[in-house]
Structure 1
């Protein structure tokens, strides 16, 4: 019996590593729902309350929801402190969607804390994930096949881990949750000078810009941002030798001008590339003269036929390049 218990504990530890969600952290809602008890029976567990008076007028009718075994999420647009005058002291309320306390039955989160994402199948649009939670709106999930495609596309192609799914119709809510919780959730963040770096994109999800902790179901991540290199530059969450607790931290390091210098052409008395002497430099119609102000020789381009042709071995294709020059 003892051996069996230890085996179960080890298996659970392996399967749940890296995840930051518990069985009640996926929230489902109908748009413009007014039948809270009916929708709760169907498996929906999130509801929108636009105003405090609306919440207050429905509070007595909502009491059976609070005494049910399920946890409930309300999304609102009013000040959360105003709820203290309505809810009894015995009702424990949380604004952290990942809190796993069984005593908390009611979660209330402000609407502005969600990234609002309109799900579009087979298309990628630029997204900014700079708020705490992700709300994904989809037309419908009318079959298990649609649910499978939706989760695969959302998690692995679009790179979005949903906290709240809003849909007018979900064919099988139990199946949706079952498939969702089979997917791991890994966490990562990027820091610069020990502070979180914002507006970071990822090689695996170039359409995303993230801030703070980024959650993903993709096992490999490579951060990207102009002007920075990263340590590490790639990380694989499935590497058993590098397991970590908490978010994986990528450290951003700013490039110095000379770090990726590809061409250096002083153009004083020669046209050789000082950054790479093996390049072959061929000038056409260029003269060198002494400049009185600079007290050194400079190159003269006639504005019509002067140019320098630089060939390197092996030849490389530069997708982008920054240029610094002194020109008179």
Structure 2
């Protein structure tokens, strides 16, 4: 490592993080179903994921109110405490288009029990988002809260705003910016950043599990993956195999996970349908409508649903064979 900066006071633990889907009541207004959410959070923690991410893209964060975001963090923290994991990492999405809004969301998340905050760059007026704007935005938010900040790089959701590794490296030097989630899928950013920084200085995560092993091989700390909503044990097992030095088995499972995850690449509705079909019964959530996207968005068509089952079902038996982590 070339950087001599101090390790962060609260580094984000390595591992598999699940960006948890939001569950709704089967009503006209689709209020958030906090009871179902508690069951699902508990299911994921028992399944062996290393952290939960709330109010991110997979959670339909732009469709959630600030109060709903805050309450979901409280429910997730309660689920972790009830399972004997009071310090379980909970990452809360705090992305706002203004610095002021992001600081307010960070304050809410911290008060509700979040461990870290996940923050997209501003993007509303993309042409006005210069490097200096990005640096100022992240530094101002990080200066204004004790909630450790994780950069969220997802150009497809940000009007094409794509932070390069040099910009991230400058932000990494801030004492309250602890890592990055690379949903941009750029493995080069992994190797450049991990050459400069240790995990404790600045952690680097893949934004999906279909390139978990390439990220780990490049020095990354894990991944944040939507398919963990569907098969949490499988993804946790893949991570464990790699860490145990069982590279052949890990590579084989990596391919199977990647094949299944292509359904998640098709959008929120297929991800939520997969979770309803494969994980809902185990989590104790039997009403498939809880997994529907929030209006105006619609659930999968019958044709798409059939395809999701087809591309994911090869992991079902492995998921069922693996023991609970708790």
What TM-score do the two structures reach when normalised by structure 2?
0.31
Higher Cα Rg, which structure: 1
Structure with the bigger percentage of helix: 2
Q: Highest relative contact order (Cα 8 Å, sep 6+), 1 or 2?
A: 2
Structure with the bigger percentage of strand: 1
What TM-score do the two structures reach when normalised by structure 1?
0.31
